[in-house]
Chain A
Amino acid sequence: MAAAGAAATDIEVVRGKRAALFFAAVAIVLGLPLWWKTTETYRAPLPYSQISGLNALQLRLMVPVTVVFTRDSVPLDDQGKLPFTVVHEREIPLKYKMKIKCRFQKTYRRALDHEEEALSLGSVQEAEAVLAQPKEQAAGSLTLYVISEHSPLLPQDIMSYIGPERTAVVRGIMHREAFNIIGHRIIQVAQAMSLTEDVLAAALADHLPEDKWSSDKRRPLKSSLGYEITFSLLNPDPKSHDVRWDIEGAVQRYVQPFLNALSAAGNFSVDSQILYYAMLGVNPRFDPLSSSYYLAMPSLPHVINPVESRLGSSAASLYPVLNFLLYVPELAHSPLYIRDRDGAPVATNAFHSPRWGGIMVYNVDPKAYNGSERPVRVQVDMVRVMEVFLAQLRLLFGIAHPQVPPKCLLSGPKSEGLMTWELDRLLWARSVENLATATTTLTSLAQLLGKISNIVIKDDVASEVYRAVAAVQKAAEELASGHLSSAFTASQEAVTCSERAFFDPSLLHLLYFPDDQKFAIYIPLFLPMAVPILLSLVKIFLEMRKSWKKPEKID
């Protein structure tokens, strides 16, 4: 009986040991991985290697140039070599991590009959009008016509002419090294019309650390999908001036054509408003010599801030806003002039602030005060005003004057105010800027994910990142093959996707738990379960050691 009882307890003990071992096995093999998996932050897989590869991206900007030779422009045996292609590649020396190479692919060919006819017309403008077909020329490409050395098409000492569309005219030369010399001239003209170092430096101004202080002048608007332009009329003294302006007509006639020409660079929306009793915030000084009031240059920066809160630009839209203010000074401070650094009155009576907008002061004609009735009726001369505002708009966008080569004639401006190759220059600069921004965003996201461990990456964020990387690569390919408009669209998509991925609201890192708080959460859950398992494992192990020692003892 005692033996049976002992055997029964033995079986019980063995069963107990097995049960304890099973518990421990389940806890360790199943429980621990399950707990680890369910409490880790979810990170959808991201293309980290591709993102780090973007840093070493080499941008090659190709400008396809078609060079057309007329009959007498180069010596006969050189003419026999046509058509062929020459490539001129140069690295832009910018201290930026992305290497940028500028490549001019020149396709030389002979002139066709209708081109010969057009180039023998009277003046270069007429020739231009016949030759240029803006729709057929792809964005970013250029066509250069080489005329004979003594052709009367250009004025006597002018060597080249840059037209408003993507065409230019260059003089040829009868010389042994004709192609080399002409090639050099062609490069100069082509660079002026497309890419120079300062255009790219201005585009990358925010990314280049050394130019932080000197790039004050070159601060165009940041690239964005759309822009909001607001025209405001400020009338601080409605008792004296009843100011009317035909803003709708002026926008339709002058501003809208300009914006239509720029439409490839973004969506534009225009609105206008009139503000009464809006003061400038700076008291103008009186100058007894000219019996007028003036605002000195050092006080101009303080003008903008008090007015800005009244403009309502924050309610307008999420796009960057450009404000153009027309200020009609009050009767007590009329006429009001703006003086520059040397104390001379400014001809335009206007100033602008980069990335914000411009202000123009409109003085009422003193003859209008002849009648004794107040308020005086003032009809704003919109042409004068729009001339200044559009010039400011060009400067704010960074459409600066190109570096024309010596002895070059620049054509007069088009009616819209924007030459086609100026738009191309803007698109080149914007594409490079977009690619730089997108690359920086993606690399910062990758670095952040490495540094801060509890940021969640959901699947849609991951897909945005993949799209952004693909768009960057596509944009780089398109730039290398010279398709500017598709490259620009791809670069815009890269920027939008990368910004959307970086600023997705779900990325907000989970609130941080210090270590002692983590222990405080897990101990009440796991300790009661773990203690019996550990104790029984220890007991099993000790008994096993005893049973190993026992057989030795008997023997």
Chain B
Amino acid sequence: MAATYVLKHSATTLAAFLFLSFVSSAASHIEDQAEQFFRSGHTNNWAVLVCTSRFWFNYRHVANTLSVYRSVKRLGIPDSHIVLMLADDMACNPRNPKPATVFSHKNMELNVYGDDVEVDYRSYEVTVENFLRVLTGRIPPSTPRSKRLLSDDRSNILIYMTGHGGNGFLKFQDSEEITNIELADAFEQMWQKRRYNELLFIIDTCQGASMYERFYSPNIMALASSQVGEDSLSHQPDPAIGVHLMDRYTFYVLEFLEEINPASQTNMNDLFQVCPKSLCVSTPGHRTDLFKRDPKNVLITDFFGSVRKVEITTETMSLQQDSEIMESSYKEDQMDEELMEPLKYAEQLPVAQIIHQSSIIAVEVCSWETTARAVCFSLWSSPGHRQSEWEMHDWQGGQDSRSLPRSPSQLAMSDLRDDC
């Protein structure tokens, strides 16, 4: 009796154990598949960053776009995959007291213009037609490669637009507008030709949410800085430069992005929380119904960064050496050697390094690389300025005593500029 009882007991425990292991392996298999499903499946990243306003008092729009450009480059998207459209040149503007710089924070803590900005569409080239041509790919054949959006069906594209806007439109260059229906149709044309895998659309203007209302193509996620009927406001003025430096929404987005590195696992839900109404005064909005995946599975680096898939090369081809030819080439090289004098390396100017970590590090500058800076220097700077640019910068706070720190509540509404 006891033996049969023990036997039965062990049989049931064995069965239970087998069942549990089977269930767990099945669960892990399903989990693997589910995890695969949540991944994005893209192989390259593109970014289209557009600033649509001109004139000196719209400095903040250029600063917005350049700070997003900087974050995107720092997180890994190369210049060849970024289409940067700036409608006006603030760095070399005659009214800029600090030429060749565009600051994003008062006290001039962060120069977002940097050393290697590559602007693809500048000044009057930023028009609605050119923007739509870039998106849909219907570009005249003479356009250089850097001005094209050569995305394919495995590209994740980030589109950032800023400027003055209204209910259903965005103003370009103070002379024309793009409506939300045109934008939606442009995205549909991109989708029909499979020019994107997933698209993230961010807009920082007044009534920005109206611009994404009309989208109907799949795989688009949209964020806006304000709802319909609300104004999107600027952050803070800088008395030394004399204009408002950044918009609130993009300022807080930039702060958020400064903490992201190429390997971080932060997801989109965190980006949706950036800039609540208490800080932003407007209510940021987002739209995810067209997007297939759940935003909590979408990594920030899926759109803002660019990580390549890499494989180790394990095979080689076997080639035959042509020993005779190699010997003769050696002899030729030796003869050249005797004739030439030994090379000496002159003291080089230090070359610009790539900014990896946080923005507040010292930058070594080589001015002959950036002709914009050279031109700005020759035209606008005083000798005092020149000297300060050549030395290593200490970014830890400026010496300007005129700029007093002010909290958002202390700023009156009349101090703020809006993007309408």
With A238-B345, A383-B321 in contact, is A348–B313 under 8 Å at CB?
A: yes
Q: For the complex, is B125 an interface residue (Cβ under 8 Å from A)? A: no
Q: For the complex, is A431 an interface residue (Cβ under 8 Å from B)? A: no
In the complex, per-residue mask of B310-333: 1 if CB is within 8 Å of any chain A CB, else 0: 111111111111100100011001
Give Cα distance in the complex from A508 to B133, angstroms.
7
Rounded to whole Å, the gap between the CB of A300 and the closest CB of chain B is 5
Q: For the complex, is B194 an interface residue (Cβ under 8 Å from A)? A: yes
**Residues on A with beta carbons closer than 8 Å to the beta carbon of B129:** 508
Give Cα distance in the complex from A261 to B227, angstroms.
60
Give Cα distance in the complex from A432 to B79, angstroms.
34
In the complex, per-residue mask of B344-363: 1 if CB is within 8 Å of any chain A CB, else 0: 01000001011010000000
**Residues on A with beta carbons closer than 8 Å to the beta carbon of B317:** 387, 390-391, 394, 413, 417
With A242-B343, A509-B185 in contact, is A305–B139 under 8 Å at CB?
A: no
Helix, strand, loop or mixed for chain B's interface?
loop
Q: For the complex, is B140 an interface residue (Cβ under 8 Å from A)? A: yes
Q: For the complex, is A213 an interface residue (Cβ under 8 Å from B)? A: yes
**Residues on A with beta carbons closer than 8 Å to the beta carbon of B154:** 206
**Residues on B with beta carbons closer than 8 Å to the beta carbon of A318:** 145
**Residue in A213, A281, A507 whose CB lies within 8 Å of B36:** A213
Q: For the complex, is B181 an interface residue (Cβ under 8 Å from A)? A: yes
Give Cα distance in the complex from A253 to B44, angstroms.
34
In the complex, per-residue mask of A353-373: 1 if CB is within 8 Å of any chain B CB, else 0: 111101010000000000000
Chain A minimum-CB-distance residue to B179: A512
Chain B minimum-CB-distance residue to A437: B194
Q: Which of B96-104, B204-212, B272-280, B301-309 contacts A (4 or more CB under 8 A)?
A: B301-309
In the complex, per-residue mask of A502-537: 1 if CB is within 8 Å of any chain B CB, else 0: 111111110110100000000000000000000000
**Residues on A with beta carbons closer than 8 Å to the beta carbon of B44:** 355
**Residues on B with beta carbons closer than 8 Å to the beta carbon of A19:** none
**Residues on A with beta carbons closer than 8 Å to the beta carbon of B43:** 219, 354-355
Q: For the complex, is A254 an interface residue (Cβ under 8 Å from B)? A: yes
Q: For the complex, is B385 an interface residue (Cβ under 8 Å from A)? A: no
**Residues on B with beta carbons closer than 8 Å to the beta carbon of A360:** 313
Chain B minimum-CB-distance residue to A206: B153
Give Cα distance in the complex from A238 to B314, angstroms.
30
B311 near A301 with CB under 8 A, answer no
B313 near A249 with CB under 8 A, answer no
Q: For the complex, is B192 an interface residue (Cβ under 8 Å from A)? A: yes
B307 near A302 with CB under 8 A, answer yes
Q: For the complex, is B80 an interface residue (Cβ under 8 Å from A)? A: yes
Rounded to whole Å, the gap between the CB of A151 and the closest CB of chain B is 29
B80 near A314 with CB under 8 A, answer yes
Give Cα distance in the complex from A314 to B44, angstroms.
15
In the complex, per-residue mask of B180-191: 1 if CB is within 8 Å of any chain A CB, else 0: 011001001100
Give Cα distance in the complex from A383 to B189, angstroms.
48
A452 near B189 with CB under 8 A, answer yes
Rounded to whole Å, the gap between the CB of B344 and the closest CB of chain A is 10
B308 near A512 with CB under 8 A, answer no
A354 near B311 with CB under 8 A, answer yes
Give Cα distance in the complex from A347 to B313, angstroms.
9
Q: For the complex, is B8 an interface residue (Cβ under 8 Å from A)? A: no
**Residue in A254, A301, A394, A512 whose CB lies within 8 Å of B181:** A512
In the complex, per-residue mask of A324-357: 1 if CB is within 8 Å of any chain B CB, else 0: 0000000000000010100000111011111110
B76 near A302 with CB under 8 A, answer yes
**Residues on A with beta carbons closer than 8 Å to the beta carbon of B138:** 503-508
In the complex, per-residue mask of A265-277: 1 if CB is within 8 Å of any chain B CB, else 0: 0000000000001
Q: For the complex, is B239 an interface residue (Cβ under 8 Å from A)? A: no
A315 near B145 with CB under 8 A, answer yes
B351 near A346 with CB under 8 A, answer no
B312 near A340 with CB under 8 A, answer yes
Looking at A239, A346, A383, A415, which has the most chain B CB atoms within 10 Å of its CB? A383
Rounded to whole Å, the gap between the CB of A520 and the closest CB of chain B is 15
Chain B minimum-CB-distance residue to A238: B345
B309 near A301 with CB under 8 A, answer yes
**Residue in A347, A390, A507 whose CB lies within 8 Å of B319:** A390
B354 near A348 with CB under 8 A, answer no
Q: For the complex, is B237 an interface residue (Cβ under 8 Å from A)? A: no
**Residues on A with beta carbons closer than 8 Å to the beta carbon of B343:** 242, 375
**Residues on B with beta carbons closer than 8 Å to the beta carbon of A390:** 317, 319
Q: For the complex, is A439 an interface residue (Cβ under 8 Å from B)? A: no
B322 near A253 with CB under 8 A, answer yes
In the complex, per-residue mask of A188-207: 1 if CB is within 8 Å of any chain B CB, else 0: 00000000000000000010
**Residue in B36, B116, B312, B319 whose CB lies within 8 Å of A351:** B312
Q: For the complex, is A440 an interface residue (Cβ under 8 Å from B)? A: yes
Rounded to whole Å, the gap between the CB of B250 and the closest CB of chain A is 24
Q: For the complex, is A31 an interface residue (Cβ under 8 Å from B)? A: no
**Residues on A with beta carbons closer than 8 Å to the beta carbon of B132:** 508
The B113-128 residues at the A interface (CB cut-off 8 A) are 116, 128
A254 near B133 with CB under 8 A, answer no
Rounded to whole Å, the gap between the CB of A328 and the closest CB of chain B is 16
**Residues on B with beta carbons closer than 8 Å to the beta carbon of A507:** 138
Give Cα distance in the complex from A444 to B139, angstroms.
18
**Residues on A with beta carbons closer than 8 Å to the beta carbon of B41:** 212-213
A387 near B313 with CB under 8 A, answer no
With A301-B307, A441-B193 in contact, is A309–B78 under 8 Å at CB?
A: yes
Q: For the complex, is A306 an interface residue (Cβ under 8 Å from B)? A: yes
Q: For the complex, is B296 an interface residue (Cβ under 8 Å from A)? A: no
Residues of A within 8 A of B (CB): 206, 212-214, 216-217, 219, 222, 238-239, 242, 244, 246, 249, 253-254, 277, 279, 281, 297, 300-302, 304-306, 308-309, 313-315, 317-318, 338, 340, 346-348, 350-356, 358, 360, 375, 379, 383, 386-388, 390-392, 394-395, 413, 415, 417, 440-441, 444-445, 447-448, 451-452, 502-509, 511-512, 514
Residues of B within 8 A of A (CB): 36-37, 39, 41, 43-44, 76-80, 116, 128-129, 132-133, 136-140, 144-146, 152-154, 179, 181-182, 185, 188-189, 192-194, 262, 306-322, 325, 329-330, 333, 343, 345, 351, 353-354, 356
30 intermolecular pairs with C-beta atoms under 8 Å apart? A238-B345, A254-B319, A279-B353, A281-B354, A281-B356, A297-B312, A302-B262, A305-B76, A305-B77, A309-B78, A315-B145, A350-B312, A353-B309, A354-B43, A354-B311, A375-B343, A386-B319, A387-B319, A395-B311, A395-B315, A415-B320, A447-B192, A452-B185, A452-B188, A503-B137, A505-B140, A508-B133, A512-B181, A512-B185, A514-B179
Given contacts A340-B312, A350-B313, A354-B309, 17 further A-B contacts (CB under 8 A): A212-B41, A213-B37, A239-B345, A279-B354, A301-B307, A301-B308, A301-B310, A309-B78, A309-B80, A313-B80, A315-B146, A350-B312, A356-B308, A379-B333, A395-B313, A503-B138, A509-B185
